[in-house]
Amino acid sequence: MRDKSIYVTQPYLPPLEEFIPYLEEIWENKVLTNGGPFHQQLEASLCEYLGVEHIALFTNGTIALVTALQALRVTGEVITTPYSFVATSHSLLWNGIKPVFVDIDPNTLNLDPEKIEAAITPQTTAIMPVHCYGHPCDVESIQRIADNYNLKIIYDAAHAFGVEDAGGSTLRHGDLSVLSFHATKVFNTFEGGAIVCPDAKTKTSIDRLKNFGHVGETTVVAPGINGKMSEFNAALGLLQLKHIDKALLQRKAVDAAYRERLKNVKGISCVSNEAEKTPNYAYFPILVQDSYPISRDVLYQGLKDQGIHPRRYFYPLISEFPMYRGLKSADKINLPVAMAASQQVLCLPIYPDLDISVVDEITQFIAAQAA
């Protein structure tokens, strides 16, 4: 047993002394929230870093998803993936919308565009796909379907910070894209999130919605919510941005080490990141297939016994939770690929400070079971 446990992720924290000047400035200004100077700077810096036009910061990714649906006035039914973190579907329920689950593609583990059309009904108003593990969806096929049926697209891009395809930021696709800056994500503000908007008008309406629907001192134009990011969190974001490129390079090295060491292990497959021009190495999922001598759960327990704590993201499927399993689209028969992935997946530890010697240890353990 190792003396220190290794978890699937470890939040990235820049040196504490670098944060002190930001705190001093907040104490000096006495502006704590409501779109203060750090909030404005972070919006501008993120637009530049991510290569997008407009960003509205939020207190977390879930409130951003709920607000994105409000902003586009999405109602009725929304097609989404069961293979995600539960917040994706919860944001629909919080808007009184019925989630309709559609199966995923076995290679990307993202919503399978070929299965979307069959799930469209007269009540369908939008599609909410997820760029799972930061691997981009088949955005063109999804856009084509949305255009044909006049549907909105809101991407849950919680995993996709900084990911680029051949044409630029993955966040430019769809009507809106939603980011999470939670502690466990590639870029964090402790808690935080954002909506990437295509134009200034949309950003203005989203900015109103996240501030109770206020316009000026005495006018309220919408039943808005409190979704504002504080100055403290925005300052953390500005500091994190200074270190993000280095953190991504460290993640890249961990990712490469896993791929190299696992490539000849029978029954273990790594999810490809070759579709993206700039990946973000947010997660390291492996699929433990039938040809591997022991089950995913036995491997999971074996690693835990060594003090290594991988996670079964995403098991169970969202469609298996009590508030969803009664839906017709939640039936296992409808979701064979997602069911299989959920039984086979194991996300291995990946974070900037993870030592390659730990990757060696983990991959040797995995290979030893197959020897």
Helix 231-262 vs helix 356-370: crossing angle, to nearest 10: 40
Determine, following the binding rule CB under 6 A, whether residue 60 of this chain makes contact with ligand PLP.
Answer: yes
Stretch that binds ligand PLP, among 26-34, 59-67, 322-330, 337-345 (CB under 6 A): 59-67
Q: Does residue 122 sit in helix, strand or coil? A: coil
Query: Contact at 8 Å (CB) between 26 and 257?
Result: no
**Coil/strand/helix, residue 264:** coil
* 109/259 Cα distance (integer angstroms): 18
Q: Tell me if 342 contacts ligand PLP by CB under 6 A.
A: no
**Nearer Cβ to ligand PLP (88/143):** 88
Q: Residue 65 and residue 102: Cα distance in Å, rounded?
A: 19
Which of 81, 169, 180, 240 binds ligand PLP (CB under 6 A)? It is: 180
Least distance CB 248 / ligand PLP (angstroms): 18
Interface residue with ligand PLP among 36, 174, 193, 285 (CB under 6 A) is: 193
Read off the tokens for 112.
């399978």
Integer angstrom CA distances of residue 54 from 110, 192, 199, 326: 26, 17, 6, 39
Write the secondary structure of 194-254 as one string of H (helix), E (strand) and C (coil): EEEECCHHHHHHHHHHCECCEECCCEECCCCCECCCCHHHHHHHHHHHHHHHHHHHHHHHH
Options 36, 61, 136, 162; binder of ligand PLP; rule CB under 6 A: 61
Residue 273 near ligand PLP by CB under 6 A: no
Least Å from the CB of residue 92 to ligand PLP: 12
Closest CB to ligand PLP among residues 61, 136: 61
| Footprint (CB under 6 A) of ligand PLP, residues 84-113 | 84-85, 87-88
Residues, the chain: 371
Residue 54 or 182 with smaller CB distance to ligand PLP: 182
Cβ–Cβ under 8 Å, residues 222 and 209: yes
Nearer Cβ to ligand PLP (58/258): 58
Under DSSP, is residue 297 helix (H, G, I), strand (E, B) or coil? Answer: helix
Which span sits near ligand PLP by CB under 6 A: 57-65, 100-108, 212-220, 320-328?
Answer: 57-65
Number of Cβ atoms within 10 Å of the Cβ of 183: 15
* Region from 58-66, 75-83, 285-293, 301-309 binding ligand PLP, contact rule CB under 6 A: 58-66
Residue of 6, 8, 62, 344 interacting with ligand PLP (CB under 6 A): 62
Interacting residue with ligand PLP among 39, 135, 173, 182 (CB under 6 A): 182
| Cβ-based neighbour number of residue 285 at 10 Å | 24
Using CB positions, name the residue nearest to ligand PLP. Answer: 61
Q: What are phi and psi of 236, to 5 degrees?
A: -55, -40
Question: Cβ 67 to ligand PLP, closest distance in Å?
Answer: 12
CB of 150 to ligand PLP, least distance (A): 26
**Rounded to whole angstroms, how far apart are CA atoms 174 and 137?**
11
- 159 lies in the site for ligand PLP, by CB under 6 A: yes
Q: Which residues 231-270 are close enough to bind ligand PLP by CB under 6 A?
A: none
Q: Smallest distance from the beta carbon of 314 to ligand PLP, in angstroms?
A: 9
Instruction: Give residues with Cβ within 8 angstroms of 183, minimum separation 6.
Output: 11, 190, 191
Neighbours of 205 (CB within 10 A): 19
Shortest distance in whole angstroms from residue 331 CB to ligand PLP: 22
Q: Does 188 bind ligand PLP (CB under 6 A)?
A: no
Q: Between residue 281 and residue 340, which ones bind ligand PLP under the rule CB under 6 A?
A: none
**What string marks each residue from 110 to 139 as x (binds ligand PLP by CB under 6 A) or -?**
--------------------x---------
Report strand pairing: 284-288 vs 345-348.
antiparallel
Among 195, 370, 131, 177, smallest CA distance to 267 is for: 370
Binding residues for ligand PLP (CB under 6 A): 60-62, 84-85, 87-88, 130, 156, 158-159, 180, 182, 193
